[in-house]
Structure 1
Amino acid sequence: MIVGYARTSTVEQVAGLEAQERDLAAAGAQKQFSERVSSVAERAELKKALDYLRDGDVFVVTKLDRLARSVPDLVSIVEVIAAKGASLKILNLNLDTTTPTGKLMLNLLGSIAQFERELMLERQREGIAKAKAEGKYKGRAPTARNKTSEVLALSQDGIGPAEISRRLGIGRSSVYRILENADVSGS
């Protein structure tokens, strides 16, 4: 059986997910698992897809970056697939791990992708440091802290943290932090 997996990083990427699902169907995927979640988050559908695999199945993804976030992650996923007696196919690379060349190419591409990501993060850190040194980078504005007086007033009116969070459009943890810092938490 051909089992497909599609993933986008954000909920807004509907067209990207639909395109992946269409490509997986065209590749013959009889069963598909899809999710809209960052690669660093818990990927429940990926886990379900890997659990679903059986001996002789082919696990198909459209692109390598839709499957793994790093070389160790890729190696771990490939080991799970191999332990099930299945193989991996990456459509945009025309890569199939049933061949020795396919296995070699997968490891090389995974290493290059991780190297590229690490370089990008390094450049990003350097850019932020430079902007800070020039006084151009201030970071994110502390929106919740700016609403401290409103949080305290609503709390004194007997409104709970969840409702305060909803009304003011800030995180519930921020409400708790403000209340804790003001010693108004009621405990």
Structure 2
Amino acid sequence: MKVGYARTSTFDQIAGLEAQHRLLEETGCTQIFSEQVSSVGERAQFQNALDFVRQGDVLIVTRLDRLARSTSDLLGILAVLEDKQTGLHILDFGGSEMDTHSPTGKLMLTMFGALAQFERELMLVRQREGIERAKAAGKYRGRVPTARRRLPEMLELAQKGLTPPEIANRLQVSRASVYRLLKDERS
């Protein structure tokens, strides 16, 4: 049986999730597990997919970055799949496909996993360095506090008798922010 797994990091990536579903269906996946969660968060549907696969099945993902967070994570996933005598197939692996049924496929996957993790770590270092340079130059201020900008609207809605949860829902800010800002304003 071909079992697919699709993942995007955020809820705004609907098109990406739909594209993954389409590819997995075209590949013949009869069961697809999908979720919209960061790779560092708990991936319940991925765990369900690992629990679901049986001997002789093939877990199929569209790209390596949809599967593993790091080389150690990748090796752990490969170990679970190997214990279950289940294969792994990656559809887009740098222009070609990757299948772990062979020792060469396993070797290549491990090497590419290590390189992907290395590149991600380099990118994070470059990002931190860029932020530090921008801060030193006075060009980086960080994220503008969204809820505080909406304080006049919060006060107006509170005067109309809306409760903090109703205000939070209407303005699309957290309830905690509404409670905190209204309390600070009253003090």
Task: Please classify the TM superposition score into its range, dividing by the shorter chain length.
Answer: 0.7 to 0.9
What is aligned with 2:178? Answer: 175
- Give the deviation of 1:151 after TM superposition: 4.4
1:5-45 deviation line (CA, Å, top 9, x unaligned):
11222333333223222222232222111223222232222
**Taking every aligned residue pair, what percent have the same amino acid on both sides?**
58
What is aligned with 2:124? Answer: 121
Moved more, 87-96 or 156-165: 156-165
Equivalent runs, 1:128-143 vs 2, <5 Å: 128-143=131-146
What is aligned with 1:54? Answer: 54
Moved more, 60-69 or 32-41: 32-41
Say which of 80, 94, 99 aligns to 1:96: 99
1:130-182 deviation line (CA, Å, top 9, x unaligned):
11111111111123234456546755776432112123332112123335656
Q: Give the distance between the partners of 1:176 and 1:106, measured in 2 at CA.
A: 50
Moved more, 174-183 or 149-158: 149-158
What is aligned with 1:45? Answer: 45
Say which of 162, 166, 169 aligns to 1:166: 169
Change (3 A) 1:74 1:179: farther
TM norm structure 1: 0.85
Give yes or no for the alignment of 1:81 onto 2:81: yes
Change (3 A) 1:177 1:74: farther
3-state SS of 2:42 partner:
coil
Whichever residue aligns with residue 62 of structure 2, its letter is: T
1:74-97 deviation line (CA, Å, top 9, x unaligned):
222222222222111112222222
- Give the deviation of 1:102 after TM superposition: 1.1
Whichever residue aligns with residue 162 of structure 1, its letter is: P
Moved more, 108-117 or 28-37: 28-37
Alignment coverage as a number of residue pairs: 184
Q: Give the distance between the partners of 1:66 and 1:103, measured in 2 at CA.
A: 17
Moved more, 90-99 or 130-139: 90-99
3-state SS of 1:92 partner:
strand
Give yes or no for the alignment of 1:18 onto 2:21: no
3-state SS of 1:98 partner:
coil
Q: Give the distance between the partners of 1:152 and 1:12, measured in 2 at CA.
A: 30
Structure 1 gap ranges (5+): none
Moved more, 169-178 or 155-164: 155-164
Structure 2 gap ranges (5+): none
What is aligned with 1:9? Answer: 9
3-state SS of 2:50 partner:
helix
Change (3 A) 1:27 1:148: closer
